[in-house]
């Protein structure tokens, strides 16, 4: 059987639901059907739908996408700090498993809410938090992330200069998404090897489709780069086991 793949980072863009221009940018539509057609031939059969800056706090699109994609898919949402426990538990029942803090582009809560919300959603529903942030700009958040119950960082942290920080966080148990290779400013193969060596449970592949605003969009050869970086067991962890465990599937 071919290697099954968990896609830890994808976006569904459904114009039936509210979209908010981010720095003047609105993405083209990319439906759940479009997503399945794009990734199913690659062996992707499970994954996490991630809310983008342009979706802000809307939950409608995410609930519709998860219902259509089925129980092998989970959601990563953006919620205000004022959200009630009842609504959080309703989202959990629908398959949401994490809160995203988009510190690079906005659309989410701000960093000053990170620790309180991370502890709250973990205690209430077992959720983790995900950060879209340039690793050069983590600063004092590095210490905070090391003490959170569960967290991940998108797109390999984006920057070469932040890789030492990223490795320290991986060693401390923070998960790292191997996605958005066209967004980073370094050679991903040695970086993947270093992260896997720091923590074999850290890496989680993501397609990042439809790669909104990426200088280079996702290509199937990005999966080959992971295979080049890791041995067969490491590849299986990065493509399937690590993320399935982290998202509790």
- Kindly report, residue by residue over 18-71, the tens digit of the pLDDT: 999 988 899 999 999 999 999 999 999 999 999 999 999 999 999 999 999 999
Asked whether the predicted pLDDT for residue 106 surpasses 90, the reply is no
pLDDT of residue 3: 86
For the stretch 67-100, pLDDT in tens is: 999 999 999 999 999 999 999 999 999 999 999 9
d(CA 44, CA 104): 27
pTM: 0.96
The pair of structure tokens assigned to 85 is: 């426990």
Supply the pLDDT for residue 107. 86
Please give the CATH number for the structural domain made up of 5-247: 3.20.20.140
What is the residue extent of each domain of the chain?
A: 5-247
pLDDT at 1 over 70: no
pLDDT above 90 for 158: yes
Q: Where are the alpha helices (DSSP H) in the chain?
A: 32-39, 60-69, 85-93, 114-125, 141-147, 163-171, 188-198, 221-229, 232-236, 242-246
CA 177 to the chain's CA centroid: 6
């Amino acid at each position: 059987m071919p290697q099954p793949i968990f896609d830890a980072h994808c976006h569904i863009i459904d114009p039936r639901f509210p979209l908010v221009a981010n720095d003047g940018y609105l993405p083209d539509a990319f439906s759940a059907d479009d997503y399945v057609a794009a990734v199913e031939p690659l062996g992707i059969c499970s994954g996490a739908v991630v809310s983008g800056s342009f979706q802000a706090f809307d939950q409608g699109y995410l609930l519709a996408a998860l219902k259509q994609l089925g129980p092998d898919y989970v959601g990563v949402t953006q919620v205000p700090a004022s959200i009630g426990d009842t609504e959080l538990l309703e989202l959990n029942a629908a398959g949401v498993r994490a809160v995203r803090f988009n510190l690079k582009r906005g659309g989410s809560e701000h960093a000053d809410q990170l620790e309180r919300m991370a502890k709250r959603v973990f205690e209430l529903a077992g959720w983790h938090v995900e950060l879209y942030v340039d690793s050069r700009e983590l600063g004092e958040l590095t210490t905070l992330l090391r003490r959170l119950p569960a967290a991940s960082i998108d797109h390999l942290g984006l920057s070469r200069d932040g890789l030492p920080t990223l490795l320290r966080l991986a060693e401390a148990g923070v998960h790292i998404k191997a996605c958005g290779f066209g967004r980073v400013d370094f050679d991903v193969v040695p970086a993947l090897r270093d992260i896997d060596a720091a923590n074999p449970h850290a890496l989680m592949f993501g397609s990042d489709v439809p790669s909104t605003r990426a200088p280079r969009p996702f290509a199937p050869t990005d999966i080959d780069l992971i295979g080049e970086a890791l041995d067969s067991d490491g590849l299986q962890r990065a493509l399937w086991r690590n993320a399935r465990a982290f998202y509790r599937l």
